[in-house]
Amino acid sequence: MQVKQIFVAGAGLMGAGIAQVCAQAGYEVRVRDLTEEITAQGLEAIRWSVGKLVEKGRVEGTVDEIMGRIKPATALAAAEEADFVFEAIIENLEAKRDLFAELDKICPAHTVLATNTSAIPVTDIAEATRRPAQVVGTHFFSPVPMMKAVEIVKGLATSNETMDIAAELCASLGKETIRVHRDVAGMVLNRINFPSTVEAIKLVEAGVASVEDIDKGMRLGFGRPMGPFETADMAGLEIGLNAMLTVYRETRDPKFHPPMLLQRKVKLGHLGRKTGIGWYKYDSNGKKLGPAD
C-alpha cells in the first residue's frame, strides 16, 4: 500500500512532533485535536521547530512549504481519506478505544490505524475496531523531530503486512525502527527504562542525591541527551505515571510501581513544563529556572 495522506490524532507534544516529521518527509498531513485553540497551539509549535531546523540546514525546503502540507482539523471526519493514522492522545485505554472505534467507522477499508501508546498493549486498543489486523503500535520518542527510535509493535492480530507498512513509513520519516514481536505492556524500551526511572525517584526520596545531580550523572555517565527528570518534565509527569501503572498492573512486578513522590506530584498538578513546575521550575516560555522545591 502506498501512503499519501496521513491523519494525526492529537496536536500535543507527541502529535505535533509526528505531524512535523511527516510533513518534512513530503506527506500531506491532517492534524486534529479537540479545539481550534489546541490545534493552533500545536501548529505554532511545529512552525517554531521547523524554523529552527531550516535555519540549521537540517531539513529541505522552506518553513512555508513544510507547513503548507499540514492542515488543522477539529472533526474526526478529516480522517475520511487517510491512508495511515497516527494516534497520539492521552495515555488512557478507554479514550484510545473510543477514538479507534470512531476512526474505524470513518476511515477507508485500507487505512492502517497506529497508536503511539508508550505502555498500553496494542491488542487492547485494537479490540475496539473491526480491523484488528490493521492496528499497530508506533511508539515514537520525544522530542520526535530529534529522536531516531520508533518501536513497531505487533498486536495479537496485527498482520505482517501492517507491520511492514508501518516500518516502511517510519523509515521514510528518517527513523530507525525496532520491531516488538510480542504485545506486552511497556513494549521493550520502556520495560528497560522504567525501573531505572523508578530507582532515580527513590534515590531523591531517600535524600541520596539531587534531581540535578542524577540528571547530570545520567547525561555524562551514560551519554543520554537528557536525564530522567528532564525527560519526565518534557513529556509530562502524568504520562510517565500512567504508563508505569499500566505495566505494573499487568506484571505486578514492584520494580515498575511508581514511587509515592511521583504520585503526589501528579496529584498536586506538578506535571512538568506544561504547568511550569515538575521536577524543575520553568518560566512562561518553558525555560528551566532550577529544581522544584
Kindly list the catalytic residues.
118, 139, 151, 190
- Cα 229 to the center of its chain, rounded Å: 17
Q: Is 105 exposed, middle or buried (0-12, 13-18, 19+ CB in 10 A)?
A: exposed
CB atoms within 10 A of CB 104: 19
Distance separating alpha carbons of residues 141 and 189, to the nearest angstrom: 10
d(CA 144, CA 278): 21
> Where do runs of H (alpha helix) occur along the chain?
13-24, 36-55, 63-67, 93-106, 122-126, 160-172, 189-205, 211-222, 228-235, 237-251, 260-268
Task: For residue 143, give every residue at least 6 positions away whose Cβ sits within 8 Å of its Cβ, in sequence order, or none.
Answer: 13, 17, 49, 234
The continuous run of DSSP H or E covering 152 comes out as strand 149-153
Instruction: Provide the grid cell at 278.
Output: 515538575
